[in-house]
A and B are shown apart, each in its own frame.
Chain A
Amino acid sequence: MDINVQFKKGALELCILVLIHERDRYGYELAQSVSEYIEVAEGALYPLLRRLVNEGHCTTYLQESTEGPPRKYYQLTSEGESHMKKLIMEWKHFVKNVSALIEKGSQS
């Protein structure tokens, strides 16, 4: 279970970047969207988002909504987009290699 948590943490950043790239989203919405695919402690999102903002991968803006509190939207910067692309490449490469390894290992 523990190792699984580590996997998810590693993947979370990538998932968030892709989701924000798709369109600007606010924190709660991100939590919901991620949870649709992977089961993750939603609270881990906010520290991660803060880091993405600090590193210049995202910017935020507030938007009032008719219902509920104002929403803090996250928007991907161009730097964030290239970071995302790099991560996606690395991810695919990594998954491919690990799958190949598993394949080879389970055949013999």
Chain B
Amino acid sequence: MNKNEFLSTLSANLSILPPEERDELMNDYETHFAFGLQNGKTETEIVQELGDPQELAREAIGERRFPQGPVYWFASNPNQEQPQQPAPAVPAASPRSIFATVMVCIGLFFVDIVAISFLATLCCFGLSFILVAASGILSPVLVLLDYMMHGAFFPAKGFASIAFLGVGILFAMLSSYVIKGLLVISRKFFDWNMSAIKGGNTK
């Protein structure tokens, strides 16, 4: 790794810091390089001495978040007040109150009125695929029935039924995809509802 790689990796990993703070740190490292080069070291040597830029960035961010308080094992004197700092508040998935859950359910009800009707429309669309497939595939049988009932065979009907048979097979294949897709969508929608009610994490 050379100087530029080091600095750009570091800069990228420090992007959550406020710009002026990051610039100041970056400036420190750039100056470090300047002094090192001046003392006859190569960029690679300096990078090696500095350490892993990702690790350094993590440290820099960590130092900033928990400013006071030395490392835990420094405060070993029991007479002294332990400079204890509360553990960083991890946003734990705290259980929601019943009231909040009820409100979420009410909100979901209105969302679902729209969403379920939309889903139902999609399902009807899927159903129509199946019906087209079924009627297409059955069309030769229908022609046969027509012949048996009326005793007259029109070749045009025969050819048309063959064409419909093809269309039916095509739709049968398509409808299997459509049904799979619909199942996936419904499952996801259901899961989303459940996680919203339970107060699952929203990423």
* Contact sample, A vs B, 5 pairs, CB 8 Å cutoff: A10-B70, A44-B59, A47-B60, A51-B67, A90-B80
- What is the number of contacts between chain A and chain B, taking CB atoms within 8 Å? 89
- Across-interface contacts of B75 in A (CB, < 8 A): 90
Size of the A side of the interface (Cβ < 8 Å), in residues, is 31
CB 8 Å contact bits of B109-148 with A (1 = contact, 0 = none): 0000000000000000000000000000000000000000
State which of B25, B59, B74 has its C-beta within 8 Å of the C-beta of A10.
B74
Q: Interface residues, chain B, CB within 8 Å of chain A?
A: 21, 24-25, 28-29, 31-32, 34-36, 38, 49-53, 55-56, 59-60, 62-64, 67-68, 70-71, 73-77, 80
- Across-interface contacts of B67 in A (CB, < 8 A): 51, 54-55
Is A35 an interface residue when CB atoms closer than 8 A count as contact?
yes
CB pair A94–B76 under 8 Å, yes or no, is yes
CB pair A91–B74 under 8 Å, yes or no, is yes
CB pair B63–A51 under 8 Å, yes or no, is yes
**Cα of A54 to Cα of B28 in the assembled complex, Å:** 15
8 additional A-B pairs beyond A42-B32, A90-B76, A91-B74, beta carbons within 8 Å, are A10-B70, A28-B32, A41-B55, A42-B49, A42-B51, A44-B59, A50-B21, A68-B35
**Cα of A73 to Cα of B195 in the assembled complex, Å:** 55
Secondary structure at chain B's binding surface: helix, strand, loop or mixed?
Answer: helix
**Cα of A35 to Cα of B50 in the assembled complex, Å:** 11
Which A residues between 9 and 51 are near B, CB-CB below 8 angstroms?
9-10, 13, 27-28, 31, 35, 41-44, 46-51
CB pair A42–B50 under 8 Å, yes or no, is yes
CB 8 Å contact bits of A64-108 with B (1 = contact, 0 = none): 000111001000000000000001011101100100000000000
State which of A10, A41, A44, A49 has its C-beta within 8 Å of the C-beta of B73.
A10
**Cα of A55 to Cα of B36 in the assembled complex, Å:** 28
CB pair A28–B60 under 8 Å, yes or no, is no
CB pair B34–A43 under 8 Å, yes or no, is no
State which of A6, A72, A93 has its C-beta within 8 Å of the C-beta of B76.
A93
Instruction: Please judge, given known A-B contacts A28-B36, A31-B49, A51-B67, whether A46 and B74 are in contact too, CB under 8 Å.
Output: no
CB of B60 to closest CB in A, whole Å: 4
CB of A20 to closest CB in B, whole Å: 15
**Cα of A89 to Cα of B76 in the assembled complex, Å:** 10
CB pair B28–A94 under 8 Å, yes or no, is no
CB of B69 to closest CB in A, whole Å: 10
